[in-house]
Structure 1
Amino acid sequence: MREEPVPHLAGGQRLYQVVARRIARLIEENAGNKGWRIPSERELAEELNVSRPVIREAIIALEMRGIVEVRGRAGMVILPPRSSGQISFDLVGIDVGPGPFELLEARLAIESSAAALAAERATSYDLMVLEECIARMERERNVVLLHEKGDRDFHMTIAKMTNNAIIFSMIEALWAQRDESIMWQKLHEHIHAEDVRPLWIGDHHSIVAALRLRNPDAAYKAMARHIRNVINELLDADEQGRLDGSIARES
Protein backbone atom coordinates (compact mmCIF):
# COMPACT_ATOMS: atom_id res chain seq x y z
CA MET A 1 0.00 0.00 0.00
CA ARG A 2 1.39 3.36 -1.02
CA GLU A 3 2.39 5.72 1.79
CA GLU A 4 1.02 9.25 1.94
CA PRO A 5 3.57 11.82 0.71
CA VAL A 6 5.83 13.25 3.39
CA PRO A 7 4.39 16.60 4.57
CA HIS A 8 6.21 19.91 4.35
CA LEU A 9 8.49 20.66 7.27
CA ALA A 10 7.06 22.28 10.35
CA GLY A 11 8.75 23.75 13.40
CA GLY A 12 12.26 23.59 11.95
CA GLN A 13 12.35 19.81 11.61
CA ARG A 14 14.78 18.40 9.10
CA LEU A 15 13.23 16.42 6.27
CA TYR A 16 15.41 13.37 6.89
CA GLN A 17 14.14 13.27 10.50
CA VAL A 18 10.54 13.13 9.32
CA VAL A 19 11.39 10.42 6.80
CA ALA A 20 13.43 8.42 9.34
CA ARG A 21 10.47 8.37 11.72
CA ARG A 22 8.18 7.27 8.88
CA ILE A 23 10.51 4.39 8.00
CA ALA A 24 10.90 3.43 11.67
CA ARG A 25 7.12 3.36 12.07
CA LEU A 26 6.87 1.19 8.96
CA ILE A 27 9.36 -1.25 10.50
CA GLU A 28 7.45 -1.37 13.78
CA GLU A 29 4.09 -1.90 12.08
CA ASN A 30 5.47 -4.91 10.18
CA ALA A 31 7.47 -6.40 13.06
CA GLY A 32 5.19 -9.47 13.24
CA ASN A 33 5.13 -10.08 9.50
CA LYS A 34 7.90 -12.63 8.81
CA GLY A 35 7.52 -12.32 5.05
CA TRP A 36 7.91 -8.56 5.03
CA ARG A 37 11.11 -6.89 3.93
CA ILE A 38 12.02 -3.24 4.20
CA PRO A 39 11.73 -1.58 0.77
CA SER A 40 14.88 -0.54 -1.08
CA GLU A 41 16.03 3.08 -1.03
CA ARG A 42 14.61 3.64 -4.50
CA GLU A 43 11.27 2.12 -3.50
CA LEU A 44 11.15 4.24 -0.35
CA ALA A 45 11.92 7.38 -2.34
CA GLU A 46 9.00 6.64 -4.66
CA GLU A 47 6.59 5.67 -1.87
CA LEU A 48 7.39 8.67 0.32
CA ASN A 49 7.68 11.11 -2.59
CA VAL A 50 11.14 12.38 -1.63
CA SER A 51 14.54 12.29 -3.30
CA ARG A 52 17.11 9.51 -2.96
CA PRO A 53 19.51 11.79 -1.03
CA VAL A 54 16.83 12.39 1.61
CA ILE A 55 16.23 8.64 1.90
CA ARG A 56 19.98 8.08 2.22
CA GLU A 57 20.17 10.64 5.04
CA ALA A 58 17.22 9.01 6.81
CA ILE A 59 18.84 5.57 6.52
CA ILE A 60 22.11 6.92 7.91
CA ALA A 61 20.15 8.35 10.86
CA LEU A 62 18.50 4.95 11.43
CA GLU A 63 21.89 3.21 11.21
CA MET A 64 23.26 5.59 13.83
CA ARG A 65 20.36 4.63 16.11
CA GLY A 66 21.02 0.90 15.63
CA ILE A 67 17.67 0.28 13.93
CA VAL A 68 18.91 -0.88 10.52
CA GLU A 69 22.17 -1.84 8.86
CA VAL A 70 22.92 -1.71 5.13
CA ARG A 71 24.68 -4.86 3.96
CA GLY A 72 25.38 -4.48 0.28
CA ARG A 73 23.63 -7.20 -1.71
CA ALA A 74 21.36 -8.02 1.21
CA GLY A 75 20.07 -4.45 1.25
CA MET A 76 18.75 -2.97 4.48
CA VAL A 77 18.60 -5.39 7.39
CA ILE A 78 16.46 -4.65 10.43
CA LEU A 79 18.47 -5.08 13.62
CA PRO A 80 17.02 -6.64 16.81
CA PRO A 81 15.73 -4.03 19.29
CA ARG A 82 18.32 -3.19 21.92
CA SER A 83 16.02 -3.05 24.94
CA SER A 84 12.24 -2.83 25.25
CA GLY A 85 11.49 -4.39 21.88
CA GLN A 86 9.92 -1.15 20.66
CA ILE A 87 11.47 1.60 18.59
CA SER A 88 11.93 4.90 20.41
CA PHE A 89 10.57 7.50 18.02
CA ASP A 90 11.96 10.24 20.26
CA LEU A 91 15.48 8.93 19.66
CA VAL A 92 14.83 8.61 15.93
CA GLY A 93 13.78 12.25 15.88
CA ILE A 94 16.82 13.61 17.74
CA ASP A 95 18.53 16.24 15.60
CA VAL A 96 22.10 15.16 14.83
CA GLY A 97 22.66 18.16 12.59
CA PRO A 98 22.18 18.82 8.89
CA GLY A 99 22.33 15.86 6.55
CA PRO A 100 25.26 15.67 4.09
CA PHE A 101 23.02 16.16 1.05
CA GLU A 102 21.18 19.00 2.77
CA LEU A 103 24.54 20.73 3.21
CA LEU A 104 25.47 20.07 -0.41
CA GLU A 105 22.15 21.54 -1.57
CA ALA A 106 22.91 24.72 0.41
CA ARG A 107 26.42 24.82 -1.04
CA LEU A 108 24.99 24.42 -4.53
CA ALA A 109 22.82 27.51 -4.03
CA ILE A 110 25.45 29.70 -2.37
CA GLU A 111 28.80 28.65 -3.83
CA SER A 112 27.60 28.69 -7.44
CA SER A 113 26.57 32.33 -7.06
CA ALA A 114 29.81 33.06 -5.22
CA ALA A 115 31.81 31.65 -8.13
CA ALA A 116 29.93 33.92 -10.56
CA LEU A 117 30.77 36.97 -8.44
CA ALA A 118 34.37 35.83 -8.01
CA ALA A 119 34.75 35.62 -11.81
CA GLU A 120 34.08 39.35 -12.03
CA ARG A 121 36.70 40.14 -9.37
CA ALA A 122 39.39 37.50 -9.92
CA THR A 123 43.02 38.62 -9.92
CA SER A 124 46.05 36.79 -11.29
CA TYR A 125 47.16 36.19 -7.71
CA ASP A 126 43.80 34.58 -6.86
CA LEU A 127 44.12 32.21 -9.80
CA MET A 128 47.63 31.18 -8.74
CA VAL A 129 46.36 30.44 -5.23
CA LEU A 130 43.59 28.24 -6.67
CA GLU A 131 46.09 26.36 -8.84
CA GLU A 132 48.21 25.71 -5.76
CA CYS A 133 45.14 24.37 -3.93
CA ILE A 134 44.54 21.91 -6.76
CA ALA A 135 48.21 20.87 -6.73
CA ARG A 136 47.85 20.20 -2.99
CA MET A 137 44.73 18.10 -3.64
CA GLU A 138 46.72 16.05 -6.15
CA ARG A 139 49.41 15.43 -3.52
CA GLU A 140 46.93 14.44 -0.80
CA ARG A 141 46.70 10.84 -1.93
CA ASN A 142 46.71 9.28 1.53
CA VAL A 143 44.35 11.78 3.16
CA VAL A 144 40.76 10.90 4.03
CA LEU A 145 38.41 12.89 1.79
CA LEU A 146 36.76 14.47 4.79
CA HIS A 147 40.07 16.02 5.89
CA GLU A 148 41.46 17.28 2.58
CA LYS A 149 42.85 20.76 3.22
CA GLY A 150 43.42 21.58 -0.44
CA ASP A 151 39.73 21.15 -1.28
CA ARG A 152 38.54 23.32 1.60
CA ASP A 153 41.12 26.04 0.85
CA PHE A 154 40.07 26.05 -2.81
CA HIS A 155 36.44 26.78 -2.00
CA MET A 156 37.26 29.26 0.75
CA THR A 157 39.59 31.11 -1.63
CA ILE A 158 36.71 31.58 -4.07
CA ALA A 159 34.57 32.81 -1.17
CA LYS A 160 37.26 35.42 -0.37
CA MET A 161 37.45 36.43 -4.03
CA THR A 162 33.87 37.74 -3.83
CA ASN A 163 35.08 40.50 -1.48
CA ASN A 164 31.79 40.04 0.34
CA ALA A 165 32.11 39.31 4.06
CA ILE A 166 28.56 37.96 4.36
CA ILE A 167 29.02 35.48 1.51
CA PHE A 168 32.36 34.42 2.97
CA SER A 169 30.87 33.85 6.44
CA MET A 170 27.98 31.82 5.00
CA ILE A 171 30.29 29.51 3.07
CA GLU A 172 32.66 29.22 6.03
CA ALA A 173 29.71 28.21 8.23
CA LEU A 174 28.61 25.52 5.76
CA TRP A 175 32.09 23.98 5.70
CA ALA A 176 32.31 24.15 9.50
CA GLN A 177 29.01 22.26 9.76
CA ARG A 178 30.34 19.66 7.33
CA ASP A 179 33.50 19.17 9.40
CA GLU A 180 31.48 18.72 12.60
CA SER A 181 28.72 16.55 11.10
CA ILE A 182 28.47 13.01 12.48
CA MET A 183 26.38 12.11 9.41
CA TRP A 184 29.17 13.23 7.07
CA GLN A 185 31.59 10.96 8.96
CA LYS A 186 29.14 8.05 8.70
CA LEU A 187 28.70 8.59 4.96
CA HIS A 188 32.46 8.74 4.38
CA GLU A 189 32.99 5.34 6.02
CA HIS A 190 31.92 3.78 2.72
CA ILE A 191 33.65 6.15 0.28
CA HIS A 192 36.66 4.95 -1.73
CA ALA A 193 38.70 8.15 -2.04
CA GLU A 194 40.83 7.03 -4.97
CA ASP A 195 37.72 6.35 -7.06
CA VAL A 196 36.25 9.84 -6.79
CA ARG A 197 39.24 12.15 -6.20
CA PRO A 198 40.33 12.36 -9.90
CA LEU A 199 36.78 13.32 -10.94
CA TRP A 200 36.55 16.06 -8.35
CA ILE A 201 40.01 17.41 -9.19
CA GLY A 202 38.94 17.65 -12.85
CA ASP A 203 35.91 19.69 -11.78
CA HIS A 204 38.19 22.09 -9.90
CA HIS A 205 40.31 22.64 -13.01
CA SER A 206 37.11 23.49 -14.93
CA ILE A 207 36.12 26.05 -12.30
CA VAL A 208 39.54 27.74 -12.52
CA ALA A 209 39.31 27.81 -16.32
CA ALA A 210 35.96 29.62 -16.11
CA LEU A 211 37.33 32.08 -13.54
CA ARG A 212 40.35 32.77 -15.73
CA LEU A 213 37.98 33.77 -18.55
CA ARG A 214 36.30 36.23 -16.12
CA ASN A 215 33.00 34.66 -17.25
CA PRO A 216 30.40 34.71 -14.43
CA ASP A 217 27.94 32.42 -16.22
CA ALA A 218 30.60 29.82 -16.99
CA ALA A 219 31.91 30.00 -13.41
CA TYR A 220 28.40 29.55 -11.99
CA LYS A 221 27.78 26.52 -14.20
CA ALA A 222 31.19 24.97 -13.47
CA MET A 223 30.68 25.22 -9.70
CA ALA A 224 27.09 23.97 -9.91
CA ARG A 225 28.20 21.03 -12.08
CA HIS A 226 30.93 20.16 -9.58
CA ILE A 227 28.62 20.11 -6.56
CA ARG A 228 25.98 18.10 -8.45
CA ASN A 229 28.73 15.65 -9.41
CA VAL A 230 29.71 15.38 -5.74
CA ILE A 231 26.09 14.57 -4.82
CA ASN A 232 25.82 11.88 -7.51
CA GLU A 233 29.27 10.44 -6.86
CA LEU A 234 28.68 10.25 -3.09
CA LEU A 235 25.46 8.34 -3.70
CA ASP A 236 27.13 5.93 -6.14
CA ALA A 237 30.36 5.55 -4.16
CA ASP A 238 28.45 4.94 -0.94
CA GLU A 239 26.44 2.17 -2.60
CA GLN A 240 29.60 0.56 -4.01
CA GLY A 241 31.43 0.91 -0.70
CA ARG A 242 28.62 -0.83 1.15
CA LEU A 243 28.56 -3.56 -1.50
CA ASP A 244 32.32 -4.09 -1.29
CA GLY A 245 32.09 -4.24 2.50
CA SER A 246 29.38 -6.89 2.24
CA ILE A 247 31.50 -8.99 -0.14
CA ALA A 248 34.49 -8.72 2.20
CA ARG A 249 32.41 -9.98 5.16
CA GLU A 250 31.15 -12.91 3.12
CA SER A 251 34.58 -14.00 1.83
Structure 2
Amino acid sequence: MHRGKGMKFVGDSRVSAERKPNIPKDYSEYPGKTEAFWPNFLLKEWLIGSIFLIGYLCLTVAHPSPLERIADPTDTSYIPLPDWYFLFLYQLLKYEYASGPYTVIGAMIIPGLAFGALLLAPWLDKGPERRPSKRPIATGLMLLALAATIFLTWESVVNHDWEAAAKQGEIVEEVEINKEDPGYKVLEANGCLSCHGTELTGGPAAPALTKTGETLSPEEIAEIAVNGRGAMPGGLFKGTDEELKQLSEFIHGLSAQ
Protein backbone atom coordinates (compact mmCIF):
# COMPACT_ATOMS: atom_id res chain seq x y z
CA MET A 1 0.00 0.00 0.00
CA HIS A 2 1.48 3.33 -1.09
CA ARG A 3 0.64 6.68 0.40
CA GLY A 4 2.33 10.05 -0.05
CA LYS A 5 5.29 11.01 -2.20
CA GLY A 6 8.12 8.49 -2.17
CA MET A 7 7.07 6.96 1.15
CA LYS A 8 6.13 3.41 2.02
CA PHE A 9 4.18 2.42 5.08
CA VAL A 10 5.68 -0.56 6.88
CA GLY A 11 3.45 -1.23 9.82
CA ASP A 12 3.25 2.09 11.67
CA SER A 13 6.58 3.43 10.35
CA ARG A 14 7.41 5.36 7.22
CA VAL A 15 10.51 4.35 5.25
CA SER A 16 11.94 6.31 2.33
CA ALA A 17 11.31 4.58 -0.97
CA GLU A 18 14.63 5.79 -2.42
CA ARG A 19 17.94 4.87 -0.85
CA LYS A 20 20.23 7.87 -0.45
CA PRO A 21 23.97 7.79 0.27
CA ASN A 22 25.09 8.90 3.74
CA ILE A 23 26.52 12.26 2.76
CA PRO A 24 27.48 14.44 5.74
CA LYS A 25 25.92 17.84 5.96
CA ASP A 26 27.86 20.91 4.94
CA TYR A 27 30.17 22.38 7.62
CA SER A 28 28.51 25.75 7.22
CA GLU A 29 25.48 24.37 9.04
CA TYR A 30 27.56 24.07 12.26
CA PRO A 31 29.53 27.35 12.55
CA GLY A 32 32.16 27.24 15.28
CA LYS A 33 31.46 23.59 16.17
CA THR A 34 33.43 21.70 13.56
CA GLU A 35 35.94 22.22 10.77
CA ALA A 36 37.51 20.48 7.83
CA PHE A 37 40.18 17.91 8.71
CA TRP A 38 42.33 19.09 5.82
CA PRO A 39 43.86 21.60 5.99
CA ASN A 40 42.33 23.37 9.02
CA PHE A 41 42.68 20.71 11.73
CA LEU A 42 46.04 19.31 10.57
CA LEU A 43 47.50 22.80 10.21
CA LYS A 44 46.76 23.62 13.85
CA GLU A 45 48.19 20.27 14.98
CA TRP A 46 51.38 20.89 13.03
CA LEU A 47 51.74 24.39 14.45
CA ILE A 48 51.40 23.17 18.04
CA GLY A 49 53.83 20.31 17.37
CA SER A 50 56.36 22.73 15.87
CA ILE A 51 56.16 24.99 18.94
CA PHE A 52 56.87 22.07 21.29
CA LEU A 53 59.68 20.80 19.06
CA ILE A 54 61.36 24.22 18.98
CA GLY A 55 60.94 24.48 22.76
CA TYR A 56 62.64 21.11 23.33
CA LEU A 57 65.47 22.08 20.98
CA CYS A 58 66.02 25.32 22.90
CA LEU A 59 66.14 23.42 26.21
CA THR A 60 68.62 20.96 24.72
CA VAL A 61 70.91 23.78 23.60
CA ALA A 62 70.59 25.70 26.90
CA HIS A 63 70.98 22.65 29.15
CA PRO A 64 73.03 19.90 27.45
CA SER A 65 72.67 16.36 28.68
CA PRO A 66 75.15 15.54 31.48
CA LEU A 67 77.83 13.21 30.18
CA GLU A 68 79.62 10.62 32.25
CA ARG A 69 82.81 8.68 31.74
CA ILE A 70 82.94 5.76 29.33
CA ALA A 71 81.03 2.76 30.65
CA ASP A 72 83.18 0.04 32.19
CA PRO A 73 81.33 -3.31 32.25
CA THR A 74 83.94 -4.74 34.61
CA ASP A 75 83.22 -2.12 37.29
CA THR A 76 81.05 -4.07 39.73
CA SER A 77 80.83 -1.10 42.12
CA TYR A 78 78.92 1.07 39.66
CA ILE A 79 75.49 2.15 40.98
CA PRO A 80 72.99 2.12 38.10
CA LEU A 81 69.99 4.44 37.93
CA PRO A 82 67.25 4.18 35.28
CA ASP A 83 65.24 7.07 33.88
CA TRP A 84 62.66 8.68 36.17
CA TYR A 85 59.70 6.83 34.68
CA PHE A 86 61.26 3.46 35.64
CA LEU A 87 62.30 4.46 39.17
CA PHE A 88 59.24 2.83 40.75
CA LEU A 89 60.12 -0.53 39.20
CA TYR A 90 63.79 -0.04 40.12
CA GLN A 91 62.77 0.48 43.75
CA LEU A 92 60.41 -2.51 43.67
CA LEU A 93 63.32 -4.78 42.72
CA LYS A 94 65.12 -3.80 45.94
CA TYR A 95 62.58 -5.48 48.20
CA GLU A 96 63.07 -9.01 49.50
CA TYR A 97 60.28 -10.79 47.64
CA ALA A 98 60.94 -8.98 44.35
CA SER A 99 64.71 -9.46 44.06
CA GLY A 100 67.36 -12.14 44.30
CA PRO A 101 65.69 -15.54 43.73
CA TYR A 102 62.36 -13.72 43.38
CA THR A 103 63.44 -11.34 40.61
CA VAL A 104 60.93 -12.88 38.22
CA ILE A 105 58.13 -11.78 40.55
CA GLY A 106 59.31 -8.17 40.70
CA ALA A 107 60.41 -7.84 37.10
CA MET A 108 57.72 -9.78 35.25
CA ILE A 109 54.78 -11.06 37.29
CA ILE A 110 53.81 -7.90 39.23
CA PRO A 111 54.26 -5.49 36.26
CA GLY A 112 52.56 -8.06 33.99
CA LEU A 113 49.50 -8.21 36.25
CA ALA A 114 49.34 -4.41 36.48
CA PHE A 115 49.59 -3.75 32.74
CA GLY A 116 47.38 -6.75 31.98
CA ALA A 117 44.65 -5.31 34.21
CA LEU A 118 45.02 -2.00 32.39
CA LEU A 119 44.55 -3.69 29.03
CA LEU A 120 41.52 -5.61 30.31
CA ALA A 121 39.95 -2.51 31.90
CA PRO A 122 37.32 -2.05 29.13
CA TRP A 123 36.06 -5.59 29.80
CA LEU A 124 36.41 -5.49 33.59
CA ASP A 125 34.42 -2.28 34.00
CA LYS A 126 31.63 -2.06 31.41
CA GLY A 127 29.30 0.25 33.34
CA PRO A 128 27.77 3.27 31.58
CA GLU A 129 28.63 5.68 34.40
CA ARG A 130 31.38 8.23 33.87
CA ARG A 131 31.55 9.80 37.33
CA PRO A 132 34.48 8.39 39.36
CA SER A 133 32.29 8.27 42.47
CA LYS A 134 29.93 5.83 40.74
CA ARG A 135 32.78 3.55 39.61
CA PRO A 136 34.36 2.65 42.96
CA ILE A 137 36.28 -0.44 41.82
CA ALA A 138 37.94 1.15 38.80
CA THR A 139 38.60 4.41 40.67
CA GLY A 140 40.02 2.59 43.68
CA LEU A 141 42.38 0.46 41.61
CA MET A 142 43.60 3.48 39.67
CA LEU A 143 44.24 5.50 42.85
CA LEU A 144 46.02 2.52 44.39
CA ALA A 145 48.30 2.15 41.35
CA LEU A 146 49.00 5.89 41.29
CA ALA A 147 49.82 5.98 45.01
CA ALA A 148 52.12 2.93 44.70
CA THR A 149 53.97 4.48 41.74
CA ILE A 150 54.47 7.81 43.52
CA PHE A 151 55.60 6.11 46.75
CA LEU A 152 58.10 3.79 45.05
CA THR A 153 59.48 6.65 42.93
CA TRP A 154 59.93 8.82 46.03
CA GLU A 155 61.64 6.01 47.94
CA SER A 156 64.02 5.42 45.05
CA VAL A 157 64.99 9.11 44.88
CA VAL A 158 65.44 9.48 48.65
CA ASN A 159 67.54 6.31 49.11
CA HIS A 160 69.83 6.86 46.12
CA ASP A 161 73.35 8.07 46.91
CA TRP A 162 73.49 11.05 44.58
CA GLU A 163 76.98 12.17 45.65
CA ALA A 164 78.46 8.73 44.98
CA ALA A 165 76.61 8.57 41.65
CA ALA A 166 78.02 11.93 40.58
CA LYS A 167 81.51 10.85 41.62
CA GLN A 168 81.36 7.52 39.81
CA GLY A 169 80.31 9.20 36.57
CA GLU A 170 82.83 12.02 36.75
CA ILE A 171 85.00 12.30 33.66
CA VAL A 172 88.63 12.08 34.69
CA GLU A 173 91.76 12.62 32.71
CA GLU A 174 92.73 9.42 30.97
CA VAL A 175 96.09 7.93 31.85
CA GLU A 176 97.68 5.33 29.65
CA ILE A 177 98.03 2.18 31.71
CA ASN A 178 100.37 -0.65 30.84
CA LYS A 179 98.25 -3.66 31.73
CA GLU A 180 101.21 -5.96 31.13
CA ASP A 181 103.19 -4.33 33.92
CA PRO A 182 103.89 -6.69 36.88
CA GLY A 183 102.38 -4.10 39.25
CA TYR A 184 99.10 -4.13 37.34
CA LYS A 185 99.10 -7.93 37.43
CA VAL A 186 99.50 -7.78 41.22
CA LEU A 187 96.50 -5.41 41.46
CA GLU A 188 94.47 -7.77 39.33
CA ALA A 189 95.47 -10.86 41.33
CA ASN A 190 94.48 -9.25 44.65
CA GLY A 191 91.04 -8.12 43.50
CA CYS A 192 91.87 -4.41 43.59
CA LEU A 193 90.31 -3.81 40.16
CA SER A 194 86.83 -4.77 41.35
CA CYS A 195 86.67 -1.50 43.32
CA HIS A 196 89.20 0.77 41.60
CA GLY A 197 88.20 -0.26 38.05
CA THR A 198 90.21 -1.77 35.25
CA GLU A 199 91.41 1.71 34.26
CA LEU A 200 92.09 2.59 37.92
CA THR A 201 89.70 5.56 37.65
CA GLY A 202 87.87 4.54 40.82
CA GLY A 203 84.17 4.55 41.59
CA PRO A 204 81.73 5.01 44.47
CA ALA A 205 83.49 2.33 46.53
CA ALA A 206 87.11 3.42 45.93
CA PRO A 207 89.09 6.47 44.76
CA ALA A 208 91.05 6.75 41.53
CA LEU A 209 94.65 5.55 41.70
CA THR A 210 95.94 7.48 38.72
CA LYS A 211 96.97 10.52 40.81
CA THR A 212 97.81 8.77 44.08
CA GLY A 213 101.55 9.11 43.50
CA GLU A 214 101.33 12.90 43.57
CA THR A 215 100.47 12.87 47.27
CA LEU A 216 101.79 9.52 48.54
CA SER A 217 105.17 7.87 48.41
CA PRO A 218 105.61 4.19 47.41
CA GLU A 219 106.07 3.33 51.09
CA GLU A 220 102.80 5.02 52.03
CA ILE A 221 101.00 3.27 49.18
CA ALA A 222 102.35 -0.08 50.36
CA GLU A 223 101.19 0.69 53.92
CA ILE A 224 97.64 1.38 52.71
CA ALA A 225 97.63 -1.75 50.54
CA VAL A 226 98.44 -3.90 53.58
CA ASN A 227 96.59 -2.18 56.43
CA GLY A 228 93.84 -0.36 54.54
CA ARG A 229 92.50 3.18 55.01
CA GLY A 230 89.03 4.66 55.26
CA ALA A 231 86.45 2.36 53.68
CA MET A 232 89.20 -0.01 52.53
CA PRO A 233 89.78 -2.74 55.15
CA GLY A 234 93.17 -4.20 55.91
CA GLY A 235 94.31 -7.69 55.11
CA LEU A 236 93.16 -7.69 51.49
CA PHE A 237 96.66 -7.88 50.05
CA LYS A 238 97.88 -11.49 49.98
CA GLY A 239 101.06 -11.16 47.92
CA THR A 240 104.74 -11.27 48.74
CA ASP A 241 106.99 -8.34 49.69
CA GLU A 242 108.32 -8.24 46.14
CA GLU A 243 104.81 -8.06 44.72
CA LEU A 244 103.93 -5.31 47.22
CA LYS A 245 106.88 -3.30 46.00
CA GLN A 246 105.85 -3.79 42.37
CA LEU A 247 102.30 -2.66 43.21
CA SER A 248 103.34 0.48 45.11
CA GLU A 249 105.90 1.55 42.50
CA PHE A 250 103.44 0.96 39.70
CA ILE A 251 100.74 3.14 41.33
CA HIS A 252 103.27 5.84 42.20
CA GLY A 253 104.52 5.86 38.63
CA LEU A 254 101.06 6.56 37.22
CA SER A 255 101.16 10.19 38.42
CA ALA A 256 104.33 10.86 36.42
CA GLN A 257 102.49 10.38 33.10
The answer, yes or no, to whether TM exceeds 0.5 is: no
If you compute each CA radius of gyration, which structure gives the higher value, 1 or 2?
2
User: Which is richer in helix?
Assistant: 1
TM-score, length of structure 2 as denominator length:
0.26
User: Taking CA–CA contacts closer than 8 Å with sequence separation of 6 or more, which of the two structures ends up with the larger relative contact order?
Assistant: 1
